[in-house]
Amino acid sequence: MLSFLLSLGLGFGAIDLDELPMTQVQSIVNEVVQQLDSSLSVKPSVVVSNRKDPTPLGAISYTSGRCVIVINPNPDAWAQWGRFLNADNKPNWQEIIAASAAHEVGHCMRESRQFVTQFTVQDPQHQALSGSAQLSGSHESVFKQELFADAVALIYAREFAGPNAEPVVEAMINSRERFADNDPTHSTGAYLKALKSMDVTRHAAESMGQAASRLLNDVSIAAL
Ligand SMILES: [Zn+2]
């Protein structure tokens, strides 16, 4: 019974600051910001701030082009790392957290508007949701922001996680699929599966944001 409770807890978000120290996340996020430095004209700053919102890692962008990556060690927020991290993928926690950081830098890239990021949403599930009374145009906008950031995270994983890239991408897809129903604006699983089978290598002189835009324009999920 105890082991059942423990594994259920870990699977559904019982990551605490002992299992995953804040300083470890901070050092990974700082490294990712350095690695992606050339893809943004203004380097994001990284701050630790105890906030009430339920996400352990987020990005705040300003109209000035400045972007701040916020690490939120509030224990309730920290538990949400359990959406991605579990006992099975523990050997890859470092790379999964790095991909999550790249996702947030992806938000900074899109908000910086250094390049065109227009693409059409093809996801039939998402289109069905958009047609419902509950979801408005702003949800489509959030969905596109999330999709763009996930595409950046996927390209990042392929470039920097080496042989561990595929377990990292799997962790992203599993999380998106598992939480699709209660978080439809983040239900990018179908797109991620389609992107996963594509060659995501950047073209010469292409920034990561430009590559994400190109791939999202080219991706076809008709077969899914
Ligand atoms: Zn996001």
**What is the whole-number distance in angstroms between the Cα of residue 169 and the centre of ligand 1?**
15
* pLDDT of the residue at 180: 74
Containing structural domain, residue 190: 10-218
* Choice between 59 and 179, residue whose per-residue pLDDT is larger: 59
In-domain check, residue 158: yes
pTM (2 decimals)?
Answer: 0.85
Q: Is residue 3 part of a domain?
A: no
Query: How much distance in Å is there from the Cα of 8 to the middle of ligand 1?
Result: 25
Percentage of the chain lying above the pLDDT 70 cut = 81
- Dump pLDDT digits (tens) for 40-84: 888 999 999 999 988 999 999 888 878 999 999 999 899 999 989
Whether 26 has a pLDDT exceeding 60, the answer reads yes
Residue 50 lies in a domain: yes
Into how many domains does the chain fold?
1
For residue 224, tell me if it sits in a domain: no
Distances (CA, A) of 146 to 50, 137, 186, 191: 23, 14, 6, 11
Q: What separation in Å is there between the alpha carbon of 54 and the centre of ligand 1? A: 13
Lowest mean pLDDT among 84-93, 111-120, 128-137, 168-177: 128-137
Rounded to the nearest angstrom, the distance between the alpha carbon of 1 and the centre of ligand 1 is 36
| Torsion angle defined by CA atoms of residues 107, 58, 170 and 78, in that order, rounded to the nearest 10 degrees | 180
Q: Examine residue 4 and state whether it is found in any structural domain, yes or no.
A: no
**Cα 35 to averaged position of ligand 1 atoms, centre (Å):** 19
How far apart are the CA of 88 and the centre of ligand 1, in A? 24
Write out the two tokens for 75.
């224990």
182 domain-assigned: yes
Rounded to the nearest whole angstrom, what is the distance from the C-alpha of residue 143 to the centroid of ligand 1? 9
Residue 1 lies in a domain: no
